[in-house]
């Protein structure tokens, strides 16, 4: 029971990341917000590795593996996440990103030759129908596509792509080390881009905003990464991933309570279809002999 409660705690924080990100964007530019959060989570994760004596020396070949993960999973994913949140609400963003398990499976089929069974195809179709309802906003075949939605789709694809890359990297090292080093490298990549793209950032923000930024980074991108990695060894990746489907519900509720985002029946119906389709696609029986050995490759989660 303790393990499931911890996984529920992480899923709730991951869902709240969409709302907290929307709040922080009222004060911080998107690029600088990405850089600051990566800096905080990098210090936390690397500090944890040092204190737990789990640091390893990286070879030149290891760095080559980390570069595409940092570019796609950190730079592109983080920047597109906060840029997209500037123009769409937290609920819609969370629903689009909830498609990542399906697109990860598609990419795994293409690049890793993993199977894509009929159950997964049906679940994918159900989830995409749900996205249609959310995007159309109850206007039938008239789709209300926006730039923010397009950016969030890029964010979702970047996360799915980085998950595939992380799977290959975790064949060489455990997921927590891989997450910590890729986060650090991503931070080093995002900061120069932020300074170049948004040179007028003055850092003259009130203490309250800095506390919200630092605490959200520590909890969501730091502590949750450690808790998730530890608990997933106990229940397996497939069971743990089911908890991630709670993110849109959390984002919808918190978005309504904290930001006043309206929730309509079309959005609720689309949400049910998306979450149901993802569950249908990803839920599977876990053999007892290996259910404690699977480790979910982690990237910094659903901001």
Please say whether the dihedral angle defined by the alpha carbons of residues 190, 195, 198 and 203, taken in this order, is positive or negative.
Answer: positive
What whole-number distance in Å separates Cα of residue 129 and Cα of residue 132? 5
pLDDT given at position 237: 59
pLDDT in 10s for each residue of the chain, 303 residues: 788 888 889 888 988 999 999 999 999 999 999 999 999 999 999 999 999 888 888 888 888 888 898 899 889 999 999 999 998 888 888 888 888 877 887 888 888 777 777 777 787 778 777 777 766 655 554 556 788 889 999 999 998 888 888 878 877 888 888 889 999 999 999 999 998 988 877 777 899 999 999 999 999 988 888 887 777 667 665 566 667 777 777 888 888 888 888 777 777 887 788 778 777 766 655 445 444 444 444 444 444
Measured between alpha carbons, how far is 99 from 84 in angstroms, rounded to an integer?
Answer: 16
C-alpha pair distances (Å), 26 with each of 19, 97, 259, 275:
11, 22, 11, 29
- Residues 6+ positions from 115 with CB-CB distance below 8 Å: 109
- Residue 274: which of 248, 297, 236 has the closest Cα? 248
Q: Residue 115, class by beta-carbon neighbours within 10 Å (0-12 exposed, 13-18 middle, 19+ buried)?
A: exposed
d(C-alpha 64, C-alpha 72), whole Å: 13
Q: How far apart are CA 189 and CA 239, in angstroms?
A: 34
Q: How far apart are CA 45 and CA 275, in angstroms?
A: 30
Choose among 258, 30, 272, 261: nearest CA to 155.
Answer: 30
């Amino acid at each position: 029971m303790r393990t499931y409660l911890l996984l529920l705690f992480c899923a709730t924080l991951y869902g709240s990341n969409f709302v907290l990100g929307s709040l922080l964007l009222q004060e911080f530019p998107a690029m600088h917000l990405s850089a600051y959060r990566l800096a905080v989570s990098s210090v936390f994760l690397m500090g944890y590795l040092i204190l737990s004596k789990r640091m390893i020396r990286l070879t030149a070949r290891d760095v080559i593996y980390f570069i595409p993960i940092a570019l796609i999973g950190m730079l592109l994913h983080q920047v597109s996440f906060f840029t997209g949140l500037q123009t769409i609400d937290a609920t819609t963003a969370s629903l689009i990103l909830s498609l990542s398990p399906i697109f990860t499976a598609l990419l795994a089929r293409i690049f890793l030759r993993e199977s894509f069974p009929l159950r997964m195809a049906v679940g994918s179709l159900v989830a995409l129908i749900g996205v249609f309802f959310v995007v159309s906003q109850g206007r039938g075949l008239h789709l209300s596509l926006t730039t923010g939605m397009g950016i969030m789709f890029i964010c979702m694809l970047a996360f799915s792509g980085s998950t595939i890359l992380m799977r290959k990297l975790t064949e060489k090292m455990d997921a927590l080390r891989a997450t910590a080093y890729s986060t650090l490298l991503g931070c080093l990549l995002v900061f120069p881009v932020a300074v170049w793209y948004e040179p007028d950032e003055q850092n003259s923000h009130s203490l309250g905003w800095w506390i919200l930024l630092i605490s959200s980074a520590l909890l969501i991108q730091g502590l949750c990464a450690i808790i998730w990695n530890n608990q997933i060894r106990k229940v397996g990746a497939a069971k743990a991933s089911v908890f991630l489907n709670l993110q849109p519900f959390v984002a919808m509720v918190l978005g309504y309570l904290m930001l006043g985002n309206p929730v309509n029946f079309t959005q609720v119906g689309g949400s049910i279809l998306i979450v149901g389709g993802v569950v249908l696609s990803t839920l599977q029986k876990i053999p007892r002999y290996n259910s404690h050995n699977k480790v979910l490759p982690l990237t910094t989660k659903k901001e």
